[in-house]
């Protein structure tokens, strides 16, 4: 019947709309559902995942020693040419020549944070750090030397 | 000269100025807009005369209805943005003559019957209910016959619209897919 | 008790005692104009902020909260930004009409303010055809939109203007019919008469189901007339980027934006006046004590509360529903709203003649 | 095809017979990226749509030819960035197939779970964007709330939220996070509670239904001849789920239904995606408690070299069938690589199905095609 269909159509339409309004009305009245995170204010409590891939860093221990042997496995694994390792030869106390890194150059602006260099490293010298606030005013500041000045390779790492 | 007459002359100037611009404008859309201002001016004149009902009806019918229709039809034409050619000189002369003749004729009529005498009788202020009663009354000065004739005209116009707007029934359901043509491509 | 009524009365008495009637009238005009402009500015700031806060709460966000405490100066800052921006005019636009259009829209909004009763005896112009005046003047705003859309010389604008024209012209009908139901019940077009008729109860409660239907129809129709979602086809941003005001920037855009919010305020104020008793306090039957307490709340507060309730309702619609398609919009009007409102008007007429309302 | 001068000429003037040519995009709120549509209109009715591509072309296929088989995987995350995991899986599967690398069961199961999570995340984003195209803003935020939980899980395990690069040839880059299982279970619980919201706000809404039902109808035969895959084809009644047809990873051991709707309109495509999310939840529920112990990566050589020949692998991404085709000359890098992306074929039907409808319908149709422009324009 035409009139009956017409009325039920109107009824169903209106009730579906009211259902939607009930849902949004629920959220309007329940302020604890708000999920906004006020980012720069919550820096102190901000918790990033420990695996978060923000940038490549080279951990140094308290004696300013790292474990990078300068094998360039990471340089080869990198798809973008982000890493450049400059090696030198140290003279050990026994008088032998030993290969070591002079500068571990890391260009953050070219890095896609793919983690392949970290996976390729045989001596776990580099890792990903959960830093994400990378903005700087000068692009050249994004080119970093990861090994600290005067740092040495840890004993026993070949 | 008091505020009231200043207002009258200002409104009249608006009506006449906008009217002249409407006929002289070379862009058709602008002509429509000037016509709109002219009609609004007439509504303002009605407000000035304190016949608010007529003023409101003037706005509803002429401004809200007719000018919007005109603008719509301008939109639907192709070259609404182009400047129109200036009309031939003979046309201009004849138009000016016709306008002059019309003005003279109206002036003559007014002078003949009433003159420009200012009628300061009691303000004409009928209530809305009176207007409604008068509209439907069958006594003398009742408007029932014109009212009904106009309704018939509008009904005819509406039926005509519906007939024009209806599209042939066969074009509606032609694009529904045939559900029997489902194909499986399992491999 | 300090009320707006006594303030206006003392001001008027003082002015007429001090100056000649013509000068006093002129001063009154200036005061009214200043008040209207102030109201516009304040309403613009408040309503935009309210909209953003309502949207944020519905969308489980916080909303603006950086400029001032709780973000209350956010809209002021936005306005400052818009004022300082360059108002670009496209090269191929019809410059005169392009620049005129926002002012037409704004002017119409200002004209509509005249017959609204903000409080008891606080009204700019209690015209005897109040409701008719409102529906006639509000039909002017479509001209501004059409003008803006055409003069921009932009295809999105033109499409938006066409849509908006078709939409406003058709939805005016059911808005008009909804208003007419109250006119039929009251027997007057004057705003003050309509409010006075609701002294012992608002029409929404007095007039049975037909008036409730008329109220719903009115809300739907004015949502469409003010180009608000789900009827915001004239500026449907996913289809037409910004519709008729695509090419506007700076203060000219701000005027369109402001006019939209002012129009919402006005239609809600009219809705509150017609259906919810305007500035009349809530009275329930014979509960004398309750009614007495309600009378203590100033009439302007009553009016504002009702208006803002309706504004909130319209905002709630916007942040819940998807947008209709242009042909569905017209279908809704011509197939559903118009027949229902015609039938409803007939029903109300019968009720009014038989005196079946309370 | 169109050349650039033609575009400029056409769009500055009205076409013949009152046609209106509108350039939608490359900067348009509904094209979700840099898609450029030249739409010929007659009033509000669409007469012709011509998609223009090339605004985000990064020559990913060419780039991959200069990268080794370990390196090229990360680039594929940038194609269809909403199903980056699945893209990576496709590449890893291809390399594993080409070198006969044995993948540990644990890696297979984790890959499957992550792929399904990615699919849910992609569909969640799509549902929000789709509602936004139709003018409803609020569902976007509700959808993103659930998607946020998935990206958090991804961040915990893979270390990134969008371009994970977690899958390597032979398995996974590192083991799953210790809290992976509990977090996924928490997500499933919340998802099941909140999924009714979409029904209230979107699916059941009368306006949404009238906007999508009977709009953009694609017949099954057209879907096949245009090469449509994924939810677009399944909405037209074509069964084309690669997870069923050619199971990979752990899909052969889980129970799930291939969702097929026969109406072929926008609403059918919408329903396919909504129901697919529930099926993904079903798959995850079956696997999450049964992640086998063991290695997460199989034994691989240090330098990967594919044998000389041609290799092809297809997977089901959130948008349809992604095919990876490699011609190898036996070296460490692919000689030629070709991605068969689902979005490209799905976009190609747009003119066919949106012709004759209104501009508003174009948004509904384009929304349900679920276009990701970097996927179309690699």
User: Mean pLDDT over residues C268-277, rounded?
Assistant: 86
Average pLDDT of span C65-71: 83
Comparing D122 with C114, the larger pLDDT belongs to D122
Number of domains chain C is built from: 1
pLDDT at B74 (0 to 100): 78
A35 touches chain C (CB under 8 A): yes
Q: Using a pLDDT cut of 70, give the percent of chain D over it.
A: 95
Q: What is the mean pLDDT of chain C?
A: 82
Q: For residue B28, what is the domain's CATH number?
A: 1.20.120.1200
A15 interface with C at CB cutoff 8 Å: no
Q: pLDDT band at residue B32, thresholds of 50, 70 and 90?
A: confident
Residue C127: the pLDDT is: 78
Mean of pLDDT values over A118-136: 86
Is position C106 within any domain?
A: yes
Q: Which residue of A has its CA nearest to C65?
A: A38
The pLDDT score that the predictor gives to residue B183 is 40
Q: What is the pLDDT of residue C245?
A: 81
Q: Which residue has the higher pLDDT, C8 or C77?
A: C77
Q: Which residues of chain D does A19 touch, with a Cβ-Cβ cutoff of 8 Å? A: 200, 204
* B155 located within any domain: yes
Q: What is the 3-state secondary structure (H, E, C) of chain A?
A: CHHHHHHHHHHHHHHHHHHHHHHHHHHHHCHHHCCCCCHHHHCCCCCCCCCCCCEEECCCCCCCEECCCCCCHHHHHCCCCCEEEEEEEEECCCCCEEEEEEEEEEEHHHCCCCCHHHHHCCCCCCEEECCCCCCCCCHHHHEEECCCCCCEECCCCC
Kindly state whether residue C222 falls inside one of the protein's structural domains. Answer: yes
- Please state the φ and ψ torsions of residue C173, each to the nearest 5 degrees: -60, -55
Closest residue by Cα to residue D128 from D114, D139, D112, D115: D139
How far is it, in rounded angstroms, from Cα D54 to Cα D56? 6
Partner residue opposite C129 with nearest CB, options B53, B80, B81? B53
Q: Does residue C248 fall inside a structural domain?
A: yes
Can you give the pLDDT at residue B13?
92
| pLDDT on residue C255 | 86
Confidence tier at C1 by pLDDT (50, 70, 90): very low
Name the minimum distance, in Å, from the CA of D359 to any CA of chain C: 7
pLDDT classification of D11: cutoffs 50, 70, 90: very low
Q: For residue D110, give the DSSP letter.
A: H
C-alpha closest to that of D338 among D317, D319, D316, D323:
D323
The beta strand positions in C103-220, using DSSP E, are 117-119, 122-123
Q: Can you tell me which residue has the tokens 């996070």?
A: D177
Q: Do chains C and D touch (3 or more CB pairs under 8 A)?
A: yes
CB contact under 8 A, A79 and D173: no
Mean pLDDT computed over D11-24? 63
Report if residue B38 sits inside a domain.
yes
Residues 68-97 of A with CB under 8 A from D: 77-79
Q: Residue B161 has what DSSP assignment?
A: H
- Residue C127 CB contacts under 8 Å (≥ 6 apart), including other chains: B52, C114, C115, C133, C190, C191
For the record, the structure tokens of D2 come out as: 């169109």
Torsion sign, CA atoms C336, C337, C342, C345: positive
Neighbours of C199 (CB within 10 A): 11
Q: Is the pLDDT of residue B156 over 90?
A: yes
What is the distance between the alpha carbons of residues C141 and C244, in angstroms, rounded to a whole number? Answer: 13
Q: State the burial class of residue A47 (Cβ atoms within 10 Å of its Cβ: 0-12, 13-18, 19+).
A: exposed
Question: What pLDDT is attached to residue B82?
Answer: 65
Complex confidence, ipTM: 0.79
The answer for residues whose C-beta is within 8 angstroms of residue D109's C-beta and 6 or more apart is D249, D250, D287, D290, D291, D292
Looking at the complex, does the CB of residue A11 fall below 8 Å from at least one CB of chain D?
A: no
Q: Mean pLDDT throughout D296-321?
A: 84
Instruction: With cut-offs at 50, 70 and 90, classify the pLDDT of residue B174.
Output: very low
Q: What is the mean pLDDT of residues D315-324?
A: 88
d(CA C132, CA C114): 13
Confidence of residue C178 (pLDDT cuts 50, 70, 90): confident
> Cβ-count burial of D5 within 10 angstroms (0-12 exposed, 13-18 middle, 19+ buried)?
exposed
Structure confidence at residue C281 as a pLDDT band (50, 70, 90)? confident
Q: Is residue B154's pLDDT more than 80?
A: yes
Residue in chain D closest to C242 (alpha carbons) equals D29
Query: Looking at the complex, does the CB of residue D87 fall below 8 Å from at least one CB of chain B?
Result: no
Helix axes C141-151, C250-275, angle to 10 degrees: 160
Query: How many domains is chain B partitioned into structurally?
Result: 2
Report which DSSP code applies to B184.
B
Report the CATH fold assignment for A55-153: Alpha-Beta Plaits (3.30.70)
* Annotated domain spans of chain A: 2-35, 55-153
Question: Both B6 and B60 in a single domain?
Answer: yes
- Assess if residue B183 is contained within a domain: no
Structure tokens of D128? Answer: 């929000």
Q: What percent of chain C has pLDDT over 90?
A: 0
- Return the SS3 of D269: helix
Cis peptide preceding C55, ω within 30 of 0: no
- Domain membership of residue C325 (yes or no) is yes
What are D162-183's pLDDT values in tens digits? Answer: 888 888 888 888 888 888 888 8
- Mean pLDDT value across residues B43-58: 83
State phi, psi for D22 to the nearest 5 degrees.
-115, 130
Q: Which chains touch D (3 or more CB pairs under 8 A)?
A: A, B, C
CB contact at 8 A, A113 and D160: yes
- Report helix, strand or coil for B185: coil
| Chain D contact probe: residue of A115, A117, A118, A132 with most D CBs at under 10 A | A115
> What is the residue range of C162's domain?
88-354
A82-111 confidence digits (pLDDT tens): 888 888 877 777 777 777 788 888 888 888
Lowest-confidence segment of C271-275, C299-303, D191-195, D255-259 by average pLDDT: C299-303
D4 falls in which pLDDT band (50, 70, 90)? very low
Q: Is C146 on the interface with B (CB under 8 A)?
A: yes
All structural domains of chain D, each given as residue ranges with its CATH number in brackets, are: 4-52 (no CATH), 60-376 (1.10.645.10)
Q: Is pLDDT at D144 greater than 70 in this prediction?
A: yes
Reply yes or no on whether the pLDDT at A1 is more than 70: no
Burial of A16 (0-12, 13-18, 19+ CB in 10 A): buried
Segment among C18-22, C107-111, D49-53, D144-148 with least mean pLDDT: C18-22
Q: How high is the pLDDT of residue B121?
A: 57
Q: Is the pLDDT of residue A72 over 60?
A: yes
Q: Are D115 and D85 spatial neighbours (Cβ–Cβ below 8 Å)?
A: yes
As a whole-number percent, the residues of chain B with pLDDT over 90 amount to: 8
Q: Is residue B139 part of a domain?
A: yes
Which of C22, C128, C139 lies nearest to residue B52, judging by beta carbons?
C128
Asked if D225 is an interface residue toward chain B (Cβ–Cβ < 8 A), one would say: no
Phi and psi torsions of C230, nearest 5°: -85, 15
The pLDDT value given to residue A5 = 84
Among C322, C326, C327, C335, the residue to mutate for chain D (most D Cβ within 10 A): C322
Chains within contact range of chain A (3+ C-beta pairs < 8 Å): C, D
**DSSP symbol at D20:** E
Return the residue of D nearest to B186 by Cα: D245
What residues of chain D lie within 8 A of the CB of B74, using their CB? none
Can you give the pLDDT at residue B102? 92
- Split at pLDDT 50, 70, 90, the class of D357 is confident
C117 forms beta bridges with C123
| pLDDT classification of B153: cutoffs 50, 70, 90 | very high
What is the arithmetic mean of pLDDT over D87-95? 88
Mean pLDDT to the nearest integer, D184-194: 88
Is the CB of residue D35 less than 8 Å from the CB of residue D29?
no
Q: Is B181's pLDDT higher than 60?
A: no
Residues of B in contact with D246 (CB under 8 A): 187
Q: Could you tell me if B121 lies within 8 Å of chain D, comparing CB atoms? A: no
Range of B35's domain?
Answer: 1-80
> For residue C107, is pLDDT > 90?
no
Residue C147 in contact with partner chain B when CB distance is under 8 A? yes
Please give the helix or strand (H or E) that residue D48 lies within, else none: strand D45-52
Work out the percent of chain A whose per-residue pLDDT is above 70.
96
- pLDDT at D193 exceeding the cut of 70: yes
Helix (H) or strand (E) holding D47: strand D45-52
pLDDT of A8 above 70: yes
Q: Which residues in chain C are closer than 8 Å to D29, comparing Cβ atoms? A: 237-238, 241
- What is the pLDDT at residue D2? 44
Say if C74 falls within a structural domain: no
pLDDT at residue B70 is higher than 50: yes
């Amino acid at each position: 019947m035409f009139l009956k269909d017409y009325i039920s159509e109107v009824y169903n339409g209106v009730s579906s709309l009211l259902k939607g309004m009930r849902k949004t009305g629920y959220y309007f009245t329940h302020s604890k559902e708000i999920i906004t995170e006020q980012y720069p204010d919550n820096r102190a409590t901000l918790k990033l995942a420990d695996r978060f891939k923000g940038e490549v860093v080279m951990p140094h221990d308290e004696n300013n020693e790292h474990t990078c042997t300068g094998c360039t496995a990471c340089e080869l694994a990198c798809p973008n040419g982000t890493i450049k390792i400059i090696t030198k030869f140290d003279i050990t106390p026994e008088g032998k020549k030993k290969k070591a890194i002079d500068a571990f150059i890391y260009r953050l602006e070219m890095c896609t944070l793919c983690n392949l260099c970290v996976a390729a490293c045989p001596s776990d010298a580099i890792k990903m750090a959960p830093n994400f606030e990378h903005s700087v005013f000068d692009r050249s500041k994004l080119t970093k030397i990861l090994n600290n000045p005067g740092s040495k390779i840890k004993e026993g790492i070949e | 000269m008091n505020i009231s007459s200043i207002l009258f002359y200002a409104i009249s100037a608006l009506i006449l100025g906008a009217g002249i611009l409407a006929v002289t404008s070379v862009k058709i859309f602008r002509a429509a807009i000037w016509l709109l201002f002219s009609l609004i001016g007439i509504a303002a004149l009605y407000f000035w005369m304190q016949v608010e009902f007529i003023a409101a009806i003037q706005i509803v019918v002429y401004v809200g209805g007719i000018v919007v229709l005109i603008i719509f039809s301008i939109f639907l034409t192709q070259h609404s943005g182009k400047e129109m050619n200036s009309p031939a000189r003979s046309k201009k002369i004849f138009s000016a003559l016709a306008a002059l003749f019309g003005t003279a004729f109206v002036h003559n009529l007014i002078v003949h019957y009433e003159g420009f005498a200012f009628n300061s009788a009691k303000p004409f202020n009928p209530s809305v209910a009176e207007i409604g009663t008068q509209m439907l009354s069958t006594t003398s000065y009742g408007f029932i016959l014109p009212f009904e004739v106009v309704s018939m005209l509008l009904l005819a116009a509406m039926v005509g619209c519906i007939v024009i707007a209806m599209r042939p029934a066969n074009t509606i359901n032609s694009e529904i897919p045939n559900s029997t043509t489902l194909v499986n491509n399992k491999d | 008790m300090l009320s707006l009524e006594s303030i206006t009365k003392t001001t008027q008495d003082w002015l007429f005692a001090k100056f000649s009637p013509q000068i006093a009238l002129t001063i009154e005009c200036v005061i009214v104009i200043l008040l209207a402009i102030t109201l516009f500015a304040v309403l613009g700031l408040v309503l935009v902020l309210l909209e953003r806060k309502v949207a944020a709460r519905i969308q489980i966000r916080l909303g603006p909260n950086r400029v001032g405490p709780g973000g209350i100066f956010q809209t002021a800052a936005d306005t400052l930004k818009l004022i300082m921006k360059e108002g670009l005019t496209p090269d191929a636009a019809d410059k005169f009409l392009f620049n005129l259009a926002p002012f037409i829209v704004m002017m119409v909004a200002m004209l509509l303010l005249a017959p609204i009763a903000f409080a008891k005896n606080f009204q700019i112009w209690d015209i005897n055809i109040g409701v008719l005046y409102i529906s006639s003047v509000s039909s002017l705003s479509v001209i501004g939109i059409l003008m803006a859309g055409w003069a921009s010389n932009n295809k999105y604008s033109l499409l938006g203007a066409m849509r908006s024209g078709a939409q406003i012209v058709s939805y005016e009908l059911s808005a008009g019919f909804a208003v007419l139901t109250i006119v039929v019940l009251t027997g007057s077009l004057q705003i003050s008469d309509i409010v006075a008729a609701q002294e012992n109860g608002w029409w929404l409660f007095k007039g049975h189901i037909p008036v409730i239907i008329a109220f719903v129809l009115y809300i739907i129709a004015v949502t469409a007339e003010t180009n608000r979602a789900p009827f915001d086809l004239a500026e449907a941003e996913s289809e037409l980027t910004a519709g008729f005001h695509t090419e506007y920037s700076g203060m000219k855009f701000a005027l369109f934006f402001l006019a939209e919010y002012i129009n919402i305020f006005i239609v809600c104020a009219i809705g509150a006046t017609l259906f919810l008793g305007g500035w009349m306090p809530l009275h329930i039957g014979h509960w004398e004590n309750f009614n007495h307490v309600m009378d203590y709340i100033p009439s302007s507060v009553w009016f504002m509360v009702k208006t803002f309730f309706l504004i909130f309702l319209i905002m709630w619609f916007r942040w819940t529903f998807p947008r209709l398609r242009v042909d569905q919009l017209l279908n809704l009007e011509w197939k559903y709203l118009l027949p229902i409102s015609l039938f409803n008007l007939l029903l109300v007429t019968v009720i009014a003649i038989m005196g079946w309302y309370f | 095809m169109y050349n650039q001068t033609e575009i400029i000429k056409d769009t500055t003037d009205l076409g013949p017979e009152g046609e209106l040519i509108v350039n939608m995009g490359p900067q348009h709120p509904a094209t979700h990226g840099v898609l450029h549509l030249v739409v010929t209109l007659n009033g509000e009715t669409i007469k012709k749509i011509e998609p223009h591509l090339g605004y985000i072309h990064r020559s990913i296929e060419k780039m991959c030819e200069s990268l080794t088989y370990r390196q090229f995987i990360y680039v594929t995350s940038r194609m269809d960035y909403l199903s980056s995991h699945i893209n990576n899986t496709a590449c890893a599967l291809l390399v594993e197939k080409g070198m006969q690398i044995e993948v540990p069961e644990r890696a297979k199961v984790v890959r499957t779970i992550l792929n399904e999570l990615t699919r849910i995340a992609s569909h969640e984003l799509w549902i929000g964007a789709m509602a936004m195209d139709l003018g409803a803003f609020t569902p976007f935020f509700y959808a993103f709330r659930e998607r946020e939980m998935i990206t958090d899980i991804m961040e915990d395990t893979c270390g990134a939220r969008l371009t994970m690069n977690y899958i390597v040839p032979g398995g996974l880059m590192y083991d799953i996070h210790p809290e992976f299982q509990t977090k996924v279970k928490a997500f499933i619980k919340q998802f099941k509670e909140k999924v009714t919201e979409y029904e209230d706000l979107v699916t059941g809404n009368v306006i949404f239904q009238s906007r999508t039902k009977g709009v953009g109808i694609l017949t099954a035969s057209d879907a096949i001849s245009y090469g449509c895959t994924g939810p677009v084809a399944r909405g037209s009644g074509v069964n084309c789920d690669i997870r069923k047809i050619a199971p990979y990873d752990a899909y052969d051991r889980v129970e799930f239904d291939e969702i097929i709707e026969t109406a072929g309109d926008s609403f059918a495509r919408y329903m396919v995606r909504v129901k697919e999310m529930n099926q993904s939840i079903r798959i995850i529920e079956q696997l999450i408690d049964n992640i086998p112990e063991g290695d997460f990566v199989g034994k691989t050589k240090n330098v990967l070299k594919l044998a000389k020949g041609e290799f092809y692998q297809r997977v089901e991404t959130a948008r349809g069938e992604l095919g990876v085709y490699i011609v190898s000359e036996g070296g460490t890098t692919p000689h030629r690589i070709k991605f068969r992306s689902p979005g490209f074929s799905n976009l190609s039907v747009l003119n066919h199905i949106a012709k004759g409808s209104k501009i508003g319908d174009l948004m509904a149709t384009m929304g349900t095609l679920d276009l990701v422009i970097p996927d179309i324009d690699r």
